[in-house]
Structures are given as structure tokens and as C-alpha cells.
């Protein structure tokens, strides 16, 4: 009876918050409809046309329960040809098995995009995964136009539930950088100047301000004194990281990228594009407190003012007004207790297996060229997706162009990747299909193979980052700095505009087993012929 009630409540929650949900308590399947449309959006007071899921930014939130299957029908209703008219959706951090890899949504790796007037349905069995996730366009830099939203998988048996009282729609928090220009114009400028696009504003819960702009009301998060709240903080940015703190409050971190962690108390954390954290807080006197969400997005845009990127934590009984305390970037010096990735301990320990293969990824951007490289190669997606090639029996290294940056490994092996970033750009790298063990975090000399943090987004920088992962799932899995390129168009999300100019790779795990392991649907098989038949203006 308790489980049935949970399903009904989650279905009602989805309906209220914008996602079209047709689930019932008797069926462990969530049916979601996302209409991708062009429409006006003004999170910082500047109105522009965006690419929106169900007409909102962020897009309609998706809510599920452990063990369910998500069936997400995406209808492409885009009409504005100043931006990309095709689309493809990735559900970031949701791990698919090999037999379902064709629903990964990574354009030109596991699928082709689909054009205006077309639809595609993604089927996502969630298994035992729980935690905080998100979805976004996986075609070029399209998601910077607004096609990004949250995906929460609740655990009815959360082993950390005794630490909090409230965990619902009101406690899902988003951070985002925002551009007044379209993604296509920003990319054109980047390719011409080598100057990374700098956002016009930073947003907390889809609200923010920019220099000279209107005083948009800051998003307020309501809490009641005496209650403990689990906040799910999700950075849905194109490239920016945020330094987050709450005046007079500590934050007890209990999740990183869908992995439950031992409680770890801090008062300031840096969260990079694509990363997610859950933390417990709200234990102070009634009042209004600044949520400091200081954006690190660059300095070349006079509109951007990092101090104006923030929200309000408002206790019940406090006046409906801004805090009377100064706007700051949070604790500094000896008062700052910073979240360090290497100090996070997974609640369920899984030792990192010894590697069978070792890779070194050296990221670099040659002078005078707008093209990032991994090991002297700028990734250019093939016209035929990697998965299609593998299904056609192309499974040897000679079958892939050098620019596809595809690294082939046998199935059921452990791969260790050491990242060297001499320019110290701080790239978030994201692995599709599985977590990796973070053996060594950037900024630390600690090497942990006993119980290192497991996650799907980690950072390179002026130190060495070492990751390990398994090739237990046959197929091509994208390993990239969130942003990619597809035949002159971009297809990747975390440091989006760097992925768009080459900072990506593909891990070919046991490709010789793909033909037996993967059995795509007819609908998927029709995507590439339909996309190839589109005029360039609709791709």
C-alpha cells in the first residue's frame, strides 16, 4: 500500500510541475511527453527566443522511483531556423545497458538526431539507480538555448533518509549560465575569435540579474524551522562552475552524481557543469539568508556580475524581502570549509579494480587554432554514428578515422585514464553509460583504490586526474568534456563549446560483441535515413 501511494504522489507531482505523466500505481512505468518548442524566455529579464521542453526553462521536471522504467516521447516542434531545428536528448547519468545503448541519445555516437515535425521515444529502465540527474539536448550546443531539465529518481528505501524530513519538488535547486545570444551565433563568434562565449548572467532556480538589467526578483526557497531539508543541487550550465554557500549555514553532503555518500559537512562547495550534489541543511533562526551562487563564467562580458548570481533561503515567518546582509561570495580564508572531492566516501564501498589498460589523455589547444585536442587529435563526429558502424561489423581500429578519437578495448576489462591539462582549463569530463572511480582527484596527491568516490563527472586541471572504469557494457560510450562537434556542428554538454571544437572521445567497449548484444528498434533504425534526407537548414 505504501509503494502504491508513492507512485500516485509522484505522478501527481509530475503533472503539477509540467511533465505530462500517464503513470498509474499498478504500472511501474512512467510515460512522459516532452514537446520541444521555440518560445520566449527571460530568466534574467532579457527576453529572447529559446529552445524549451514543454515551453519552460528549465524544461519540465521528470520524477521517478527506483525500479521504474521511463518512457519519454519527445516531439520536435521547433520552427526557428536561427537555431538548430533537429534535436536529440540525453538523460545525463542514467546508465543504460548494452541492449538499450541506442537510447543514449548521443548524436553521431549512438544515434542520429531527428528533425522538425518528427518524434522519438526513449525507453529508460532505471534499475537500481537513484539520485539526482538531468536531461538536455545532445546536439551541438543546442542546450545553451534552454533545452535542459532535471530528473530525480527517488529511493523509497534511502539509507540516509533518517538525516532529513523533506525531499520533494521544492528542494530541487538548479544553477545555470545564460546567454542572451543564440547558441548558433555564439558558436560562430567562438570559431572566428577563439574567445570562449561568456554568459550574460548566472541563474539560481532560473532567475538572475545582469549589469544594467532589471531587478528580477531572486528565487526564494521556503523552509520551516525545525525541519531538515535534503536539497538536490544540479549544475545545468553550458560551461560555468559555481561557488555555493548559504549565509550562516553548513551543508552536509550526502550524494554526488547519484552516488550516496557518508555525511560530509562543509560550508562552501564548487560545483562544475553537469555535477550534482545533495546536501542537508536549514537549522537556523527564522529569517532570510543569501544563497550565494557565485558564478565563474569568465570576464569578457560586461553584462556578467558574479555577485548578482544568488537566491534566498526564507524561513516560514520571515518577511517577504531580500536579506539585509551584504552580498558576498561566501566564507573565505579560515572560515571556509570547502568540499574536496577526494574527501567524499561512498556509502556502499566498491574497491577500484586493478587496470588492464592504461591511457593518458593530454588536453591541449594549439595556438592560433580554435580546436581542442586529446592526444593531438580534435574529435570530429562521423557522418554515420559509431554504433551504426559497429552494428555493420566495423569493429577494428582501422574502421575509424583518426578524428573520431575512438579507443577500442576488449569487453570486461578495467581501463585507467590519466588526464593531463597543461593549460589548466579545468574541464569537466563526463562518461556515458557508467560511473568511474576517481582514483586521484585534481588538486590532491591522494590516490585511493580502496573506496574512492564514484561519479560520472570529474574535473581536470593543473594537477593530474586519474579515473578507472569497466568495459562490461559492449558499445561505444562517449567520454568527453561536455561539448562536442558534429560535422561542423557541435554535440556535447559540460564545457560545451570546447566539446564543440574537438574535446571529446569515444570508448569502444567490446565492439565485436555489439551485433549480438544490441537489437535496436525500427524507429531508431529510421533516424539516420530521415536525418540524412533533411536539408542542411533543418539539421
Domains of the chain: 2-157 (2.60.40.420), 172-343 (2.60.40.420), 357-538 (2.60.40.420)
Q: Residue 363: what pLDDT?
A: 66
Cα atoms found within 13 Å of the Cα of residue 279, Cβ hemisphere only: 25
Q: Which three cell numbers, joined as nine digits, stand for 218? A: 531572486
Closest by CA to 13, choosing from 150, 128, 146, is 150
Query: Of all residues in the chain, what percent carry a pLDDT higher than 70?
Result: 86
* CB-neighbour burial class of residue 62 (10 A; exposed 0-12, middle 13-18, buried 19+): buried
Weakest mean pLDDT among 206-220, 264-278, 415-429? 415-429
Q: Average pLDDT in the 437-446 region?
A: 94
Top-confidence residue, 462 or 35: 35
Tell me what pLDDT residue 360 has. Answer: 84
* H or E element in which residue 50 lies: strand 48-53
H-helix or E-strand spanning residue 7: helix 2-17
Is the separation of the CB atoms in 327 and 310 below 8 Å? yes
Confidence of residue 425 (pLDDT cuts 50, 70, 90): low
- Region of poorest pLDDT, from 295-299, 450-454, 517-521: 295-299
Structural contact between residues 46 and 210, judged by C-beta atoms closer than 8 angstroms:
yes
Question: Which segment of 20-29, 276-285, 464-473 scores lowest on mean pLDDT?
Answer: 20-29
Which residue in 343, 410, 381 sits closest to 505, CA to CA?
Answer: 381
φ, ψ of residue 341 in degrees (nearest 5) = -55, -40
> What's the mean per-residue pLDDT of the chain?
88
Whole-angstrom distance, CA of residue 12 vs CA of residue 485: 39
Cβ 85 vs Cβ 539: under 8 Å: yes
pLDDT of residue 492: 31
User: What pLDDT is recorded for position 525?
Assistant: 98
Asked if residue 164 lies in contact with residue 170, where contact means CB atoms within 8 angstroms, the answer is no
pLDDT of residue 308: 97
Q: Under the phi-then-psi rule, with left for phi > 0, alpha for psi from -120 to 50, and beta for the rest, what region is 10?
A: alpha
Q: Give the pLDDT of residue 424.
A: 58
Q: Is 277 within 8 Å of 233 (Cβ atoms)?
A: yes
Say yes or no to pLDDT of 499 above 90: no
Residue 528 has pLDDT above 50, yes or no: yes
How far, rounded to the nearest angstrom, does the alpha carbon of residue 33 sit from its chain's CA centroid?
A: 20
The pLDDT assigned to 366 comes to 53
**Mean pLDDT score, 331-359:** 96
**Omega prior to 274 cis, within 30 of 0:** no
Helix (H, G, I), strand (E, B) or coil at 444: coil
Q: What percent of the chain has pLDDT over 90?
A: 76
User: What per-residue string of b and e applies to 310-321 under the rule 16 or more CB within 10 Å gives b?
Assistant: bbbbbbeebeee
pLDDT band at 364 (very low <50, low <70, confident <90, very high): low
CA dihedral 58, 63, 69, 73 (to 10 degrees): -40
Say if strands 428-431 and 504-509 run parallel, antiparallel, or are unpaired: unpaired
* Number of Cβ within a 10 Å radius of residue 7: 20
Query: How would you classify the pairing of strands 62-65 and 148-154?
Result: parallel
At 2 the pLDDT is: 34
pLDDT of residue 239: 86
Which of 75-87 are b and which e, b meaning 16 or more Cβ less than 10 Å from the residue's Cβ?
Answer: bbbbebeebbbbb
- Residue 399: Cβ-neighbour burial (10 angstroms; 0-12, 13-18, 19+): middle
Query: What residues form DSSP beta bridges with 51?
Result: 38
62-105 pLDDT, tens digit each: 999 999 999 999 999 999 999 999 999 999 999 999 999 999 99
Residue that the C-alpha cell 552516488 belongs to: 259
Which of these ranges, 44-53, 375-384, 468-477, has the smallest mean pLDDT?
Answer: 375-384
75, 32 in Cβ contact below 8 A? no
Band of residue 379 on the pLDDT scale cut at 50, 70, 90: confident
Reduce the DSSP state of residue 504 to 3 states and report it: strand
pLDDT at 180: 98
Tell me how far CA of residue 57 lies from CA of 52, 105, 167, 497, in angstroms: 6, 20, 22, 20
- The confidence score (pLDDT) of residue 14 equals 40
For 133-137, 288-292, 317-321, 497-501, which range has the lowest pLDDT when averaged over its residues? Answer: 497-501
Distance CA 505, CA 485 (A): 11
CB 515 within 8 A of CB 390: yes
Q: Which of 57-71, 363-377, 378-392 has the lowest mean pLDDT?
A: 363-377
d(CA 418, CA 170): 39
Q: How far is CA 2 from CA 5, 62, 156, 343, in A?
A: 5, 21, 9, 36
Mean pLDDT of 336-348: 97
pLDDT exceeds cutoff 80 at 13: no
pLDDT at residue 503, rounded to an integer: 58
**C-alpha–C-alpha distance, residues 247 and 101, integer Å:** 44
How far is the CA of 147 from the CAs of 84, 90, 439, 496, in angstroms?
12, 11, 33, 13
Residues paired with residue 293 on neighbouring β-strands, in sequence order: 244
Rg of the chain over Cα atoms, rounded to whole angstroms, equals 22
* Cis bond upstream, residue 86 (ω within 30): no
Reading the block at residue 447, the C-alpha cell is: 590516490
Residue 24 vs residue 397, higher pLDDT: 397
pLDDT at residue 9 tops 70: no
Calculate mean pLDDT across residues 504-531: 95
| Contacts of 215 by beta carbon, 8 Å cutoff, 6+ apart | 45, 209
DSSP secondary structure string, 342-399?
GG--BSS--PPPPPSEEEEEEEE--TT----EETTB-----SS-HHHHHHTT--SGGG
Amino acid at each position: 500500500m505504501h509503494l502504491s501511494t508513492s507512485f500516485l504522489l509522484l505522478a501527481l507531482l509530475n503533472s503539477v510541475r509540467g511533465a505530462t505523466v500517464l503513470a498509474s500505481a499498478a504500472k511501474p512505468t512512467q510515460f512522459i511527453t516532452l514537446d520541444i518548442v521555440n518560445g520566449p524566455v527571460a530568466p534574467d529579464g532579457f527576453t529572447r527566443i529559446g529552445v524549451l521542453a514543454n515551453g519552460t526553462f528549465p524544461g519540465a521536471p521528470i520524477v521517478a522511483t527506483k525500479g521504474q522504467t521511463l518512457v519519454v516521447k519527445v516531439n520536435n516542434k521547433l520552427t526557428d531556423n536561427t537555431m538548430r531545428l533537429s534535436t536529440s536528448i540525453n538523460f545525463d547519468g542514467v546508465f543504460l545497458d548494452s541492449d538499450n545503448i541506442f537510447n543514449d541519445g548521443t548524436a553521431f555516437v549512438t544515434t542520429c538526431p531527428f528533425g522538425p515535425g518528427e518524434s522519438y521515444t526513449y525507453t529508460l529502465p532505471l534499475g537500481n539507480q537513484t539520485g539526482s540527474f538531468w536531461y538536455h539536448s545532445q546536439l551541438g550546443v543546442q542546450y545553451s538555448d534552454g533545452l535542459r531539465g532535471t530528473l530525480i529518481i527517488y529511493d523509497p528505501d534511502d539509507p540516509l533518509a533518517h538525516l532529513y524530513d523533506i525531499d520533494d519538488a521544492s528542494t530541487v535547486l538548479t544553477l545555470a549560465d545564460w546567454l542572451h545570444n543564440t547558441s548558433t551565433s555564439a558558436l560562430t563568434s567562438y570559431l572566428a575569435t577563439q574567445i570562449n562565449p561568456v554568459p550574460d548572467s548566472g541563474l539560481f532556480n532560473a532567475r538572475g540579474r545582469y549589469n544594467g538589467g532589471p531587478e528580477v526578483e531572486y528565487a526564494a526557497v521556503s523552509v520551516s524551522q525545525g525541519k531538515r531539508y535534503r536539497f538536490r543541487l544540479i549544475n545545468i550550465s553550458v560551461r560555468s562552475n559555481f561557488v555555493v554557500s548559504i549565509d550562516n549555514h553548513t551543508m552536509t553532503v550526502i550524494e554526488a552524481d547519484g552516488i550516496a555518500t557518508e555525511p560530509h559537512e562543509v560550508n562552501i562547495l564548487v560545483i562544475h557543469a553537469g555535477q550534482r550534489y545533495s546536501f542537508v541543511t536549514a537549522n537556523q533562526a527564522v529569517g532570510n539568508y543569501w544563497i550565494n551562487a557565485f558564478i565563474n563564467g569568465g570576464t569578457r562580458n560586461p553584462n556578467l556580475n558574479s555577485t548578482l548570481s544568488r537566491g534566498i533561503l526564507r524561513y516560514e515567518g520571515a518577511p517577504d524581502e531580500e536579506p539585509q546582509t551584504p552580498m558576498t561570495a561566501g566564507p573565505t580564508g579560515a572560515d571556509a570549509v570547502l568540499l574536496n572531492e577526494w574527501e567524499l566516501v561512498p556509502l556502499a564501498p566498491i574497491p577500484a579494480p586493478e587496470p588492464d589498460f592504461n591511457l593518458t589523455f593530454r588536453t591541449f589547444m594549439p595556438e592560433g587554432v580554435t580546436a581542442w585536442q586529446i592526444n593531438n587529435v580534435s574529435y570530429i563526429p562521423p557522418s554515420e554514428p559509431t554504433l551504426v558502424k559497429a552494428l555493420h561489423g566495423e569493429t577494428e581500429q582501422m574502421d575509424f578515422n583518426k578524428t573520431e578519437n575512438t579507443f577500442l578495448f576488449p569487453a570486461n576489462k578495467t581501463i585507467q585514464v590519466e588526464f593531463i591539462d597543461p593549460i589548466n582549463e579545468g574541464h569537466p569530463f563526463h562518461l556515458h553509460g557508467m560511473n568511474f572511480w576517481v582514483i586521484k582527484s585534481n588538486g590532491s596527491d591522494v590516490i585511493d583504490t580502496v573506496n574512492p568516490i564514484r561519479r560520472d563527472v570529474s574535473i581536470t586541471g593543473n594537477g593530474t586526474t586519474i579515473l578507472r572504469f569497466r568495459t562490461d557494457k559492449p558499445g561505444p560510450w562517449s567520454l568527453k568534456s561536455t561539448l562536442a562537434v558534429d560535422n561542423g556542428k557541435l554535440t556535447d554538454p559540460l564545457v560545451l563549446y570546447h566539446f564543440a571544437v574537438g574535446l571529446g572521445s569515444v570508448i569502444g567497449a567490446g565492439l565485436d560483441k555489439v551485433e549480438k548484444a544490441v537489437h535496436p528498434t525500427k524507429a531508431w533504425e529510421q533516424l539516420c535515413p530521415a536525418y540524412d534526407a533533411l536539408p542542411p537548414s533543418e539539421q
